[in-house]
Amino acid sequence: MTFISINHKHDPNEPVIGQKLIDLSKPSVMGILNITPDSFFSGSRFTPNSNQIIYQVSKMINDGATFIDIGGYSTRPDADDVSVSKEIDRVTPVIEVIAQNFGDKVAISIDTFRSKVAREAVNVGATIINDIAGGNLDEEMFQTVAELQVPYILMHSRGNPQTMNKLNDYQNLTLDVITELQEKVAKLRALAVKDIIIDPGFGFAKNAKQGFEMMRNLEAFKVMDLPLLVGVSRKSMIWRTLNITADEALNGTTVLNMYALMQGAKILRVHDVKEASQTIRLFEELGKVRMMY
């Protein structure tokens, strides 16, 4: 079995109190909570209102979320830049509310590529760092993760949200992505980072066609022997292919999530927790039937 260890309290001036092990040999759901006004899917945008946050997180947990991913910087292509201080001001009050009300029920992930934001988020209750830049945009990120000793989601990307669309030239897409991730894993291991989850980075420095190519080859990422997170929820590779909008892309998301599970995904990062949880339930039932024959 593959486990990650979650610290439910971290204060640099106090000992860690309490540990939780999450078994990633079974698929889990990560619910998206964006504290931004410009995320590509309107249904994931929230303002830092305590009652609204408590309601939404409670719903996600009841729907089956193991993780809640909090973001204060939209990383959609061509997104506006946000200052470090503004990002911190957006996410820390929300993390505090979630930690106080649901700290024993859900793992809180901070979606940021900035080490200062990550540190502040962990200090107020976040237990995982989800870095869409894989350390590329902040040279202090890997050292910060090592010091905080929290699980780290290492995503493949190139450039930044303003430039990544132009950086999708690969000799061999899947091999290049795996190689670039492996180089980062080696650096993290050298810093004694224990719990690493990998994310191939659908939509980040990859166009729609490349996204489907990588999805077809997803099983190849098993060579890394690390838990695999897949985040395709309502992304443009779905709605552009189907000539619909992000608001209409739930069905396509479910189809690709099932395929990702069949190829070894252990975490589905989604806007729609209930539907992803149902997908996992059906996937597990299929596995039980397969074992009978």
The CA distance from 130 to 227, in Å, is: 13
Provide the residue type at 240 as one letter: R
Mean pLDDT of 113-118: 98
pLDDT digits (tens, 9 = 90+) for 258-267: 999 999 999 9
pTM score, two decimals?
Answer: 0.90
pLDDT at position 15: 34
First to last CA, the chain: 23
Mean pLDDT of 156-177: 92
Nearest to 266 by CA among 224, 238, 208, 210: 224
Instruction: Please write the tens of the pLDDT for every residue from 194-230.
Output: 999 999 999 999 999 999 999 999 999 999 999 999 9
Asked if residue 54 has pLDDT above 70, the reply is: yes
- pLDDT above 90 coverage of the chain, percent: 76
Per-residue pLDDT at 206: 96
d(CA 292, CA 290): 5
Which domains, ranges and CATH numbers included, belong to the chain?
26-291 (3.20.20.20)
Q: Which residue numbers are catalytic? A: 235, 269
pLDDT surpassing 60 at residue 18 = no
Is 50 or 169 the better-scoring residue by pLDDT?
169
Cα dist from 174 to 76, 156, 181, whole Å:
22, 11, 11
Which residues lie closer than 8 Å to 225 by C-beta, 6 or more apart? Answer: none
pLDDT at 79: 62
Q: Write the CB contacts of 50 (distance below 8 Å, at least 6 apart in sequence).
A: 97
Q: Is the pLDDT of residue 10 over 50?
A: no
Q: Is the pLDDT of residue 140 over 90?
A: yes
Predicted local distance difference test score (pLDDT) of residue 281:
97
Question: Residue 52's closest CA among 44, 64, 62?
Answer: 44
On whether the CB atoms of residues 96 and 60 are closer than 8 A, the answer is no
**Residue among 231, 232, 171, 170 nearest 205 (CA):** 170
